[in-house]
Chains A and B, each alone.
Chain A
């Protein structure tokens, strides 16, 4: 049983002539790092939003842990799948960087001491410790990107979907992210990320899915796209 499965998924934005994605058949297991690549406008971001329930398919079905995705609330999906938006501004809303990272854990009722430890760890790992009390929107684009990633990772979801996580990151922070994702996967979690960064994809991905005009053009994961 795949962790996340898409069966003949199609989605068309209103007032658009053609589907953004069409006839998508994919399955993802925990473990492994999958890169989704393709030209601008090929449907990559749309695919990620369908995977985490932000968009609902017009046709086909998506199943999470063998249950229809539509049977979950967004919060229920969020507890299982962490999502990093292409633009970090869309997911930063707290007063400080530390609050941003701790927000999800607060909502889940974790103990303050544990939250404190985890916030400190992620601030340190993503080199944001000196910005602990800074308003997130006062950070640079790359710093906001790191903060958004840290905030999602702090909840330690079983699966991660990240839309262009390396955008705005310098080479050093890309290496840190690469190391972290490999660590995450070694603990049995799965990662799917969208990227134009061919070098990062080459270094990190164990499976590559190529989209073109909303359809799958290639999938190194084999039949029905199970993770290698």
Chain B
């Protein structure tokens, strides 16, 4: 079964507004990394919100088409239920960090699942180790740099162990060491069979992706192997996707 199925997805925020997503269709399989890119305002973040049910449940607007995550129709399951299937790291990490310490932040979701304390500790330790954030385990997330906050938000999402991960512009805000750490982590997660959707403007930072989905004004401009798209410099230049 495909982990993510998007079929003819169309969305607009206001009744008289433009279609921010226009008949998007694609699938993603377990153990696959799909990079999503495109000019600013093309609908990348909106697509992310559709993948975990924030659209249509928490944001208004008009949605048509289908989004299935591990067989669950996002229109028919609550966001809390979908959060067990899809972990989303937001573009602005401070919108999802609220605990007094990094450790509390990472433990929050497993605690809410009523996991035994031993399991919670295990998940927190695993996430902290995987992302190399032991040094600020006891720090207040609000006192961390933007890049560090992104790592904490990712750790908090990983603690739920969702089969699908969606990262909205996480990598480009990191330093070289952080990018390598996240890329290595995503490779490990891919080998574990997770499905990963990564949104980025910086195409080289997602060169490790299997496929790349390029959006243009809400529609799919190209969906192909990442390697093929990155090698097609003329095409990227005409789409103004490279500097």
Check A168–B40 contact: CB distance below 8 A.
Answer: yes
Counting CB contacts under 8 A, is A164 at the interface?
Answer: yes
- The distance in angstroms between the C-alpha atoms of A87 and B91, with both chains bound, is 10
Check B240–A141 contact: CB distance below 8 A.
Answer: no
- The distance in angstroms between the C-alpha atoms of A197 and B204, with both chains bound, is 11
Partner of A87, one of B94, B140, B241: B94
Counting CB contacts under 8 A, is B105 at the interface?
Answer: no
Known A-B contacts A41-B148, A87-B94, A197-B172; A171 and B201 likewise in contact (beta carbons under 8 Å): yes
Check A169–B148 contact: CB distance below 8 A.
Answer: no
Check A196–B147 contact: CB distance below 8 A.
Answer: yes
Counting CB contacts under 8 A, is B73 at the interface?
Answer: no
- The distance in angstroms between the C-alpha atoms of A89 and B38, with both chains bound, is 22
Counting CB contacts under 8 A, is A40 at the interface?
Answer: yes
Complex contacts, B92 vs chain A, CB 8 Å: 87, 89, 141
Check A172–B145 contact: CB distance below 8 A.
Answer: no
Counting CB contacts under 8 A, is B234 at the interface?
Answer: no
Complex contacts, B94 vs chain A, CB 8 Å: 87
Partner of A170, one of B151, B178, B240: B240
Check A142–B41 contact: CB distance below 8 A.
Answer: yes
Complex contacts, B40 vs chain A, CB 8 Å: 140-143, 145-146, 168-170, 173
Partner of A40, one of B91, B145, B240: B145
B interface: dominant SS: loop
- The distance in angstroms between the C-alpha atoms of A146 and B40, with both chains bound, is 10
Check A172–B39 contact: CB distance below 8 A.
Answer: yes
Check A15–B178 contact: CB distance below 8 A.
Answer: no
Check A170–B201 contact: CB distance below 8 A.
Answer: yes
- The distance in angstroms between the C-alpha atoms of A38 and B178, with both chains bound, is 12
Complex contacts, B70 vs chain A, CB 8 Å: none
Known A-B contacts A140-B45, A169-B201; A45 and B172 likewise in contact (beta carbons under 8 Å): no
Check A41–B13 contact: CB distance below 8 A.
Answer: no
Complex contacts, A16 vs chain B, CB 8 Å: 139, 143
The B-contacting residues of A in range 30-57, CB under 8 angstroms, are 38-42, 44-45
Counting CB contacts under 8 A, is A175 at the interface?
Answer: yes
Q: Which of A139, A168, A200 has the most CB of B within 10 A?
A: A168
Residue ID in chain B nearest A128 by CB atoms: B41
Known A-B contacts A40-B147, A170-B38; A138 and B45 likewise in contact (beta carbons under 8 Å): no
Number of interface residues of B (CB under 8 A): 33
Q: Mark A165-180, 1 if CB is under 8 A from B, else 0.
A: 0011111111100000
Check A39–B91 contact: CB distance below 8 A.
Answer: no
Check B147–A141 contact: CB distance below 8 A.
Answer: no
Known A-B contacts A40-B178, A87-B92; A171 and B144 likewise in contact (beta carbons under 8 Å): no
Q: Mark B147-166, 1 if CB is under 8 A from A, else 0.
A: 11001000000000000000
Complex contacts, B201 vs chain A, CB 8 Å: 142, 168-171
Counting CB contacts under 8 A, is A13 at the interface?
Answer: yes
Check A87–B169 contact: CB distance below 8 A.
Answer: no
Counting CB contacts under 8 A, is B202 at the interface?
Answer: yes
Q: Mark B98-142, 1 if CB is under 8 A from A, else 0.
A: 000000000000000000000000000000000000001001100
Residue ID in chain A nearest B151 by CB atoms: A40
Counting CB contacts under 8 A, is B227 at the interface?
Answer: no
- The distance in angstroms between the C-alpha atoms of A169 and B40, with both chains bound, is 6
Check A203–B145 contact: CB distance below 8 A.
Answer: no
Complex contacts, B148 vs chain A, CB 8 Å: 40-41
Counting CB contacts under 8 A, is A199 at the interface?
Answer: yes
Complex contacts, A170 vs chain B, CB 8 Å: 38-40, 201, 240-241
- The distance in angstroms between the C-alpha atoms of A39 and B140, with both chains bound, is 19
Closest 7 CB pairs of A and B: A142-B40, A40-B147, A172-B240, A39-B175, A171-B243, A140-B41, A170-B39
Using a CB–CB cutoff of 8 Å, the interface residues on chain B facing chain A are 13, 38-41, 45, 91-92, 94, 136, 139-140, 143-148, 151, 169, 172-178, 201-202, 240-243
* Given A141-B40, A168-B201, 20 other A-B residues pairs in contact with their CB atoms under 8 A: A39-B175, A39-B177, A40-B174, A41-B145, A138-B13, A140-B45, A142-B41, A145-B40, A164-B173, A167-B172, A167-B173, A168-B169, A169-B40, A169-B201, A170-B40, A172-B39, A173-B40, A196-B147, A196-B175, A200-B243
16 A-B pairs (CB sep. < 8 Å): A13-B143, A16-B139, A38-B175, A39-B176, A44-B145, A86-B146, A140-B40, A140-B45, A141-B169, A142-B39, A142-B41, A142-B201, A168-B201, A170-B39, A170-B40, A172-B241
